Amino acid sequence: MKRITLIAVIFLSTWVLHAQEEDSKKISSVEEKDFKQEIKLSFGGSLDDPFADYYYGNCSFAYFYRPIKWFWLGINLVGSVGKIEEYHWREYFTDNTFKDFVKAEQNYGFASAPELKFSYLNRKRLILYSAISVGYLWNTVDYVENHIYLQITEIGCSYYFGKNNSGFLGCEIGAGFKGLLNMHGGYRF
């Protein structure tokens, strides 16, 4: 009887330990799903920065790839709607008369730039990061020269939600063409 009890205890102990190992593997595989890519759509505005003379707000689309846990490499496509610029001029004719003209033109900008993002707080549902993006900016208004696109994100955060935490919402505080405050949402896979 003692042998049967001892064999039963050993068998049950091994079975319980094996079941715990299987459960921990299942739990860790869900928690530690390694997302390597993400797409992001953001909206922002140019408030009190050098570009505010020309642009009101922007919409951007970004794709990122994460080779290591704290470093993201991506491409950023940004479109911006600007202020309406009015041109006034006067033309004189040979009979000593003149005519005044007014022309209004909407300013649009488009930028394409690589972006580097460095995350310094990586949690299951939250990351905090900083980023820098440098590229080229095209304008539609002639007197505004095409110039270098620059966006520095001092602090950004993304909150993950949904099944497997693959959807996210967040915001960024920065300086540059995209403005002071940007709100974003996206999906990682």
For residue 5, give Cα distances in angstroms to 8, 10, 17, 18. 5, 9, 18, 20
Q: Give dist(CA 13, CA 89) in Å, integer.
A: 93
Structure confidence at residue 80 (pLDDT): 82
Count CA atoms within 13 Å of residue 57 on its CB side.
8
Pair 154, 117: CB distance under 8 Å: no
**Lowest mean pLDDT across 7-21, 24-38, 96-110:** 7-21
Structural domain boundaries of the chain? 1-32, 33-188
Instruction: Indicate the pLDDT class of residue 107, thresholds 50, 70 and 90.
Output: confident
Instruction: Give the best-scoring range by mean pLDDT among 29-38, 48-57, 61-70, 87-96.
Output: 61-70
Pair 168, 187: CB distance under 8 Å: yes
Instruction: Indicate the pLDDT class of residue 6, thresholds 50, 70 and 90.
Output: low
Pair 168, 161: CB distance under 8 Å: yes
CATH hierarchy code of domain 33-188: 2.40.160.20
Q: Give dist(CA 114, CA 144) in Å, integer.
A: 23
pTM above 0.75, yes or no: no
For residue 97, give Cα distances in angstroms to 46, 87, 89, 174. 43, 20, 14, 53
